[in-house]
């Protein structure tokens, strides 16, 4: 009798699996897809809409006195990030001319590190934009050009006469990282990866004639170097939240900005020169600079960027 009951139960279980197995398989596939797109990561929740936060200048654009954040400025993860396709970039967001004390912050996610040295997979460039609109080899003065290469994050400084690089060492691919570059009097350059000091100090030498010749009009590009050139971010590179400041950041300031996450609002709006969240558009939200312009197409805005992101 017991054997008969056991057989009937087994038969019933088999019939259940046959009847509903396809549903179980379908649910499993859906779960895999959701996990792949980060649906169960720690950044599920409210997303910052494009343009939801900006800097207000009560005394006019670019005047730092009284500048303050306005809107929904809670450092929520963005709705979108910029996704590059190896053929396009964003160019020519003009900023107030930085001095030799400056800081640059950007979030990046690369799928593969390309090359071993200079100029492969660029993610930002802050440069002189006077000669040929900033396009043209030795006529281009760079404050800072950032790349992700086979040696990690690479920073190039002071083109054309004293081009120097700092390599941070290997950086994991397929994951989001933050890099903050801060310069003290353009003589000590320190790089921080994910809030931790990665390289520096690096000593640079500057000659006054060169400075006066090239420091005229400043601009930024995202995903290319030089502006309008053929050195472009590789396919699958994702970038977000570029911020440029006219001041030096201490370790405490770096830590504070990093802990705000990929959607972090600026830390010091009084020294902010430009802020491009890249959250669905190329607009500047610092109240001081200008929008970036697409160059050669090839980038889009992704809302499924959360894979590989872990909030600090």
Do 128 and 92 have their domain in common?
Answer: yes
The CATH code of the domain that includes 74 is: 2.60.120.200
Q: Domain for residue 66, yes or no?
A: yes
Do 59 and 130 have their domain in common?
Answer: yes
Q: What is the DSSP string of 130-146?
A: SGGGG-SGGG--EEEEE
Output the pTM of the full model: 0.82
Q: Is 119 helix (H, G, I), strand (E, B) or coil?
A: coil
Do 23 and 114 have their domain in common?
Answer: no
Q: Give CA–CA dist 200/127, Å, rounded.
A: 21
pLDDT for 21 beyond 60: no
Do 16 and 126 have their domain in common?
Answer: no
Q: Give CA–CA dist 221/224, Å, rounded.
A: 6
Do 102 and 217 have their domain in common?
Answer: yes
**Domain range for residue 236?**
53-302
The better pLDDT of the pair 219, 250 is held by 250
Do 97 and 191 have their domain in common?
Answer: yes
Q: Domain for residue 310, yes or no?
A: no
Percent of the chain with pLDDT over 90: 41
Do 23 and 103 have their domain in common?
Answer: no
Do 141 and 253 have their domain in common?
Answer: yes
Do 153 and 13 have their domain in common?
Answer: no
pLDDT in tens, 203-217: 555 555 555 566 677
Q: Domain for residue 46, yes or no?
A: no
Q: Domain for residue 102, yes or no?
A: yes
Q: Domain for residue 108, yes or no?
A: yes
**Backbone angle region of 169, left / alpha / beta, with phi > 0 → left and psi within -120 to 50 → alpha:** left
Q: Domain for residue 94, yes or no?
A: yes
pLDDT in tens, 145-192: 888 887 788 887 665 555 667 778 888 999 999 999 998 877 778 899
pLDDT for 247 beyond 80: yes
Mean pLDDT of the chain: 80
Do 1 and 148 have their domain in common?
Answer: no
Beta-bridged to residue 199, according to DSSP, are 191
Do 236 and 273 have their domain in common?
Answer: yes
Dihedral angle, C-alpha 226, 97, 141, 212, nearest 10 °: 160
> How many domains is the chain partitioned into structurally?
2
Residue with tokens 């343009």: 51
Backbone angles phi, psi at 139, to 5 degrees: -90, 5
Q: How far is CA 305 from the centre of its chain?
A: 12
Q: Domain for residue 48, yes or no?
A: no
Helix (H) or strand (E) holding 254: helix 251-259
Do 32 and 137 have their domain in common?
Answer: no
pLDDT bracket for residue 196 (50, 70, 90): very high
Q: Domain for residue 252, yes or no?
A: yes
Beta-bridged to residue 148, according to DSSP, are 153
């Amino acid at each position: 009798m017991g054997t008969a009951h056991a057989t009937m139960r087994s038969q019933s279980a088999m019939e259940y699996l046959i009847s509903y197995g396809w549903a179980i398989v379908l649910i499993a596939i859906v779960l895999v897809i959701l996990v792949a797109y980060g649906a169960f990561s720690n950044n599920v929740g409210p997303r910052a809409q494009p343009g939801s936060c900006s800097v207000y200048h009560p005394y006019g654009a670019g005047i730092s006195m009284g500048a303050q954040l306005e809107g929904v400025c809670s450092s929520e993860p963005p709705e979108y990030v910029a996704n590059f396709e190896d053929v396009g970039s964003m160019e020519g967001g003009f900023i107030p001319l930085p001095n030799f004390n400056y800081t640059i912050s950007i979030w990046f996610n690369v799928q593969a590190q390309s090359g071993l040295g200079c100029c492969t997979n660029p993610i930002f460039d802050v440069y002189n934009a006077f000669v040929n609109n900033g396009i043209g080899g030795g006529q281009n003065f760079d404050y800072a050009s950032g790349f992700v290469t086979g040696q990690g994050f690479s920073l190039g400084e002071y083109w054309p006469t004293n081009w120097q690089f700092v390599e941070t060492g290997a950086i994991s691919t397929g994951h989001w990282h933050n890099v903050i570059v801060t310069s003290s009097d353009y003589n000590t350059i320190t790089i921080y990866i994910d809030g931790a000091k990665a390289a520096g100090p690096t000593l640079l030498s500057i000659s006054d004639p060169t400075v006066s010749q090239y420091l005229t009009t400043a601009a930024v590009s995202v995903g290319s170097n030089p502006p309008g050139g053929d050195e472009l971010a590789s396919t699958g590179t994702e970038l977000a939240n570029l911020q440029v400041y006219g001041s030096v950041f201490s370790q405490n300031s770096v830590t504070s900005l990093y802990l705000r996450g990929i959607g972090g609002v600026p830390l010091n709006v009084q020294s902010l020169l430009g802020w491009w969240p890249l959250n669905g558009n190329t607009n500047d939200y610092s109240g001081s600079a200008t929008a970036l312009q697409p160059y050669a197409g090839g980038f889009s805005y992704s809302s499924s960027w959360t894979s590989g992101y872990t909030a600090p």
